Structure 1
Amino acid sequence: MSEIKYRKVSTSKVTISELMLPSHQNFSGKIHGGYILMLMDQIAFAAASKYSGTYCVTASVDTVDFLNPIEVGELVTMKASVNYVGNSSMIVGIRVESENIQTGKVKHCNSSYFTMVAKDSEGKNIKVPHLILGNGDEIRRFCKAVILINQKKEHDKHSKTFDYTSPQALEELKNYNIRLDFK
């Protein structure tokens, strides 16, 4: 049996900054959310791969709430680190901020959690090193990840048992802006 390997959270930390160009804007003149999501996926990959020392794939993305729009000409900085490890999976926390270069004003634009899975050269899941938590922020982030995992499990459990065709469920649908029109 092999010895368990441990790594510090700091071995996963990655920061990227990119100037937002006119080519990144959407139809309303703000930076396109899809472009930001692409950058977030790239930094999640970098953090997870750096930590695990292997190729990683995105398994899921937690809620991404766009808190503040990003303007053309702003400098976007993303910070990521592994917050939690399972057997082959890692939860990478990402924080996105934008800075108006002229005024120096910094805005928190969004935060999210990407679940990444380590793969070997044949595409099979492989074990990742265990995590060393070295300060209060790292412990807080780890605990938040545990809460997210438990919430997902609870949600999945309820989703599998909910009968949306029951008379009670159909009755509750009347509280929404819909009309049932079965043919």
Structure 2
Amino acid sequence: MFKNIEDSQVSITELMLPSHSNFSGKIHGGHILNLMDQIAFACASKHSGHYCVTASVNRVDFLNPIEVGELVTLKASVNYTGNTSMVVGLRVESENIQSGEKKHCNSSYFTMVAKDANGNNAKVPGIILNTVDSVRRFARSIARQEQSKHRTSKYNSSQFKIADYLDVVKQHNVMIDL
């Protein structure tokens, strides 16, 4: 079974309140991460028809601060489908209500896994790739998976060779005291 990407896309908009702010008066990153996890869950669950759990989050860079009183819009779309997992692409934007200025605040990729009523992994429908962008996003998800496999094995404690990295490490703000 295959579904159109558009059929499971989700977006939410929320007013940022003082209770969402951190000590510097900006919206707390943890609050934004919570909203991102919620919308990733909603998108993945809508696509799969199952309860979904977050398996991993691929890099979250906070590009621009979000101010109290701004509207924050989160958009989620399934970029990739495996057998039981999906990669949900997220985009976060803020809007100053008074000036109308919009800022891209961050983007991220959440890997979500579908679960059946017994908590076992559940098969998910595939997605129909009908635009150049949808093919690009799917291919990019495959590339990220491959990069992740190499990254984790390269620094595995049983395979790590300190001599290969000492010169690199010494070029940074660190003192080595072995």
- TM-score of the aligned structures, taking structure 1 as reference length: 0.91
Alignment length, in residue pairs? 177
**Contact 1:67–1:108 at 8 Å: present in 2 too?**
yes
Matched, 1:102 2:98: yes
- Report deviation, 1:159: 2.2
Q: Which residue of 2 aligns with 1:21?
A: 17
- The equivalent residue for 2:138 is 142
The match for 2:122 among 113, 117, 126 is: 126
Identity of aligned residues (%): 60
Aligned twin of 1:92: 88
Could you tell me whether the CA contact under 8 Å between 2:154 and 2:160 is conserved in 1? Answer: no
Query: Which residue number in structure 2 is paired with residue 80 of structure 1?
Result: 76
Amino acid at match of 1:8: N
Deviation at 1:9, TM superposition (A): 0.7
Letter of the 1:158 counterpart: K
Letter in 2 for 1:163: F
Contact 1:163 1:169 in 2 (8 A): no
CA contact (8 A) 2:90 2:109 kept: yes
* Contact kept in structure 2, 1:87 and 1:128, CA below 8 Å: yes
Which residue is equivalent to 2:160?
Answer: 163
The answer on 1:30 being equivalent to 2:30 is no
Deviations 1:128-177 (A, max 9, x none): 0111112122122112211211211221232236424x344345432222
**Superimposed CA distance per residue, residues 8-42 of structure 1 (whole angstroms, 9 cap, x where no aligned partner):** 11121000000000000001100000000000000
Unmatched 5+ stretches in structure 1: none
Return 5+ residue gaps in structure 2 as ranges. Answer: none
In the alignment, structure 1 residue 65 sits paired with structure 2 residue 61: yes
| Alpha-carbon distance between aligned partners in 2 of 1:6 and 1:174, rounded to the nearest angstrom | 51
